Amino acid sequence: MNTSVFAPWNDPDEKPLIRFKNVTKRFGDFLAIDDLTQDIYAKEFFALLGPSGCGKTTMMRMLAGFETVTEGTIELAGKDIAAVPPNQRAVNMMFQSYALFPHLSVYDNIAFGLKRDKLPKDRIDARVAEMLKLTRLEKFARRKPHQISGGQRQRVALARSLAKGPKLLLLDEPLGALDKKLRQETQFELMDIQETTGTTFVIVTHDQEEAMTVASRVAVMDEGRIIQVATPDGIYETPNSVYVADFIGDVNIITGSAKAAGEDKYFVDWGVNQAPILATSERPFAEGQECHLAIRPEKISITKDKPDDAENAVQGKVLDIAYLGNLSTYHVQLPGGQVIKAQTANTRRLSRRGITWEDPVWIRWNATAGVLLEK
């Protein structure tokens, strides 16, 4: 797979395309970006993910040049871009609203940036044709934006922002206005286009699935800071904090105190009358330190009978079953009152399901299934 080889962030010789250095941005008293330092490499598909108001859009608008930096510097290809106005940056942006010019045809929208560069007409024609082909819009070149569908508008916006061949393309919630099915298709299209053109993409989104699907690296943001930057699987499998674990996907958090249990192994004391949980962790914990065990529901299995050889097994009662078609999530209440979610794939037909509401069940997981977190 491509992602396994493409990891410029691990190569110390690689020069980043974008470099945020201690960037702070304030709007009046409001601190939008808090002393942020981050490198983004060429050809990356970098996702900024976070709840609304976390500063992800501000970061993008600073890259585009629509917002100034209060403190710190942003470098693009080694040069500080603070003084470069948006119309002279080799950066283009695809707007959340698409911002297509309603008075211009699809063709003229895509040609808009090229015309500003005063290119000869035949070169503009050739480039626009190329963009139309890339986004499969050849048939709609003469239409006005209001005469095409939402998905087509989205592709026009993409074609327009790519037409000038920017070093960096910024995408602000590019798929937010599309319905779910179209969004999923378009995600793959975006990845294809990013690969074909070799452009660096920075995408802002609040949709974690979208970020996970398209991005080479995901930055999870909160309150003006980047909490964690990692590949999608890194973010999912080894979150560095409860915030990230909780933000990405579904997770069970069990809080307790750590007790050493051999090399890289800890017992987590988490409740009276409960056997301690065995968990592995490369991160060291002090004796009795508070810790949080994050386990994904799909890593927990559920059985009616007591498992014999499980590293961790707890008995509980089925409180709720969420049937999602392909998956079922069981909400299991433990004697202490805590509810743990366990997920299983529905490989059998629903009528064959052996577990139902109020059933006493056992849930089990391996020591390596979860991640032990400090905070």
Which positions touch other proteins (CB under 8 A)? 64-66, 85-88, 91-93, 95-97, 99, 101-103, 112-113, 116-117, 144, 146, 160-161, 164
Query: Which amino acid is located at 18 in the chain?
Result: I
121-134 and 106-116 helices, crossing angle to 10°: 130
194 near 42, Cβ under 8 Å? no
Min dist. Cβ of residue 40 to other proteins (A): 18
φ, ψ at 361 (rounded to 5°): -135, 170
State the minimum distance, in angstroms, from the CB of residue 43 to other proteins: 21
Q: Cβ closer to other proteins: 116 or 142?
A: 116
Q: Which is nearer to other proteins, 145 or 316 (CB)?
A: 145
Percent helix, percent strand, percent coil in the chain, to nearest 5 = 30, 35, 40
Nearest residue (CB) to other proteins, 112 versus 243: 112
Q: Which is nearer to other proteins, 135 or 161 (CB)?
A: 161
We find the least distance from the C-beta atom of residue 62 to other proteins, in angstroms, to be 13
Instruction: Return the number of the residue (103 or 375) whose C-beta is nearest other proteins.
Output: 103
> Least separation, in Å, of the C-beta of 138 and other proteins?
21
The string over 333-367, giving b where at least 16 C-beta atoms fall within 10 Å of a residue's C-beta and e elsewhere, is: ebeeebebbbbbeeeeeeeeeebeeeeebbbbbbb
Nearest approach in angstroms of CB 357 to other proteins is: 50
Shortest Å, Cβ 109 to other proteins: 9
Q: How far apart are CB 344 and other proteins at their closest, in Å?
A: 45
Judged by phi (left if over 0) then psi (alpha if -120 to 50, else beta), residue 105 lies in beta
Q: How far is CA 228 from CA 107, 108, 182, 188, 248, in A?
A: 41, 41, 29, 24, 11
Compute φ and ψ for 280, nearest 5 degrees. Answer: -95, 150
Contact by Cβ (8 Å): 64, 86: yes
Gap between the Cα atoms of 332 and 363, Å rounded: 8
Closer to other proteins at the Cβ: 66 or 357? Answer: 66
Nearer to other proteins, 144 or 206 (CB): 144
* Angle, helix 150-163 to helix 121-134, in steps of 10 degrees: 140
